[in-house]
Structure 1
Amino acid sequence: MAKHVLVPVDVSSSSESAFEYVLEETPSQRITLLHVLNPVTIFNYPTAEGFDYGKAEKNEQERREDVEQIFERYRNKDAARNRRIETAIEAGAPAEKILEYAERTGVDHIVMGNRGRSSLEETLLGSVARGVLKRSAVPVTIVP
């Protein structure tokens, strides 16, 4: 039985399904919701005007506030009220950060949604989910 379950979340219905799965199917009292932000850099800054550190910092703060609203929505689910729900925000490559967080915090099970992108393989198993599944040292459950 898992003592600490990690649920990577975003705004997709599949991550919400993963959270619902954990609430319904796992007896673990400790659940961590993890959101991985893609960091804003000069290479992915969304303007042709050039990189503005002040705007980038403000954008990062707004993104973090949006994530806190996502976390709050998950915490307010009826089935979550009797569970210990922790939250974390990391910045970087999603699969890498999920794996690093799991190792660093002693997570013993990862439950995540599957989001397909383009190719047939990614339609069946999203690229982040596939990366975590292939390299995780703990059991991974993929929920559609």
Structure 2
Amino acid sequence: MGTHVLVPLDGSSQAWAAFDHAVSNHDGGRITTLHVVDPMAGVYSDYGGGGYYDPQIHDQAVERGNELGEEAHDRAEEAGVLETTTIDTAVETGPAARTIVQYADENDVDHIVMGSHGRSGVTRVLLGSVAETVTRRSPVPVTIVR
């Protein structure tokens, strides 16, 4: 049985570069694409202590994750690896880094390949780095692709 590789996808060019890297370097195994939906997707506030939740917004975010998985399958087909490599899609809701690490831990993932936006300085401090957090907390090796 081949290696099980997890590739988080958010639709960015960096995430697609990571997926392409996984496809070209892990032929013969299993690649799972994971789209993490922000748990706040669909929550709106009026800044007065109230607010409301629109489940349609959350559903649209989940559908976007499924579409990314279909696009990944198409890219793998174009690369000609589907005869030897299995492509799976997962969509989970939660904080991105924590959800990626938890998914890897609970689903027998052997390796994580993910993109990095390469932010630095104040932007990185203010926004944090999902790739850095995953690298520090992951129970398996992580490859960061830029």
Q: For residues 32 and 138 of structure 2, what CA distance do their matches in structure 1 show?
A: 16
What amino acid sits opposite 1:31 in the alignment?
Answer: I
Q: For residues 37 and 59 of structure 1, what CA distance do their matches in structure 2 show?
A: 11
What amino acid sits opposite 2:14 in the alignment?
Answer: S
Aligned residues: 138
User: Aligned to 1:127, which of 126, 129, 139?
Assistant: 129
What amino acid sits opposite 1:81 in the alignment?
Answer: L
Structure 1 equivalent of residue 82 of structure 2: 81
User: Aligned to 2:57, which of 59, 78, 84?
Assistant: 59
Q: Is the 8 A contact 2:5 2:110 kept in 1?
A: yes
Q: Which runs of 5+ in 1 are unaligned?
A: none
Structure 2 equivalent of residue 105 of structure 1: 107
Partner deviation per Cα, 1:9-48 (whole Å, 9 max, x = no partner): 111100000000011122342110001111127xx83453
Identity of aligned residues (%): 40
Query: For residues 61 and 73 of structure 1, do their structure 2 counterparts lie closer, same or farther at Cα, with a shift above 3 Å needed?
Result: same
Q: Is the aligned partner of 1:22 residue 2:25?
A: no
Structure 1 residue 2 displacement after superposition? 5.9
Q: Is the 8 A contact 2:8 2:35 kept in 1?
A: yes
Query: For residues 97 and 60 of structure 1, do their structure 2 counterparts lie closer, same or farther at Cα, with a shift above 3 Å needed?
Result: same
6-15 or 114-123: which moved more? Answer: 114-123
Q: Secondary structure at the match of 1:52?
A: strand
Structure 2 equivalent of residue 139 of structure 1: 141
Q: For residues 120 and 81 of structure 1, what CA distance do their matches in structure 2 show?
A: 42
Q: Is the 8 A contact 1:6 1:34 kept in 2?
A: yes
Query: For residues 121 and 61 of structure 1, do their structure 2 counterparts lie closer, same or farther at Cα, with a shift above 3 Å needed?
Result: closer
Q: Is the 8 A contact 1:2 1:108 kept in 2?
A: no
Q: Is the 8 A contact 1:4 1:28 kept in 2?
A: no
Structure 1 ranges of 4+ moved more than 6 A:
none
Instruction: Please tell me the root mean square deviation across aligned C-alpha atoms, in Å.
Output: 2.5
Structure 2 equivalent of residue 35 of structure 1: 35
